[in-house]
Amino acid sequence: MNKREIKEECYLDMLEDEINSVEAVINHIKKIRNKIGIFDEAVLQKDIIRAQFDLELALASLCILLRKMSENIFIHIDVETRKDINSIIHSNKFEFKDNKLYVYSQKGRELVNLNNLLVFAHSIL
């Protein structure tokens, strides 16, 4: 196995971890939202805010890894997916509600196709 193959294998291992991280946080957010009305709303609100920050960081890590894979010519990223990746990386505010992801940057509010991004990431594996 040459150095490039080892590097690609490393990237693919990390990609799987990052995808799992993003999906775990999304599932956690859904579970918290299902508890609204059952548990103290102040506690749940804090948990949701924390989980959204976790999602923001997990998605940023995933997107950076995807860009690195593209820069190393391991993958090709289509224009729409690249736009979403860049929007996530360069955002300064982040909102996830009703299973929709909105990011805010100097460009303003942008809707990111989160489902498409995850499908793309899974397709690489």
Query: 15 in the Ramachandran plot: left (φ > 0), alpha (ψ -120 to 50) or beta?
Result: alpha
Domain-wise residue ranges, the chain: 3-124
- pLDDT tens-digit profile of 52-83? 999 999 999 999 999 999 999 999 999 999 99
Neighbours of 78 (CB within 10 A): 10
Q: Per the confidence metrics, is the pTM higher than 0.85?
A: yes
Q: Taking a C-beta distance cutoff of 8 angstroms, is the pair 44, 37 a contact? A: no
- pLDDT tens-digit profile of 20-51? 999 999 999 999 999 888 888 888 899 999 99
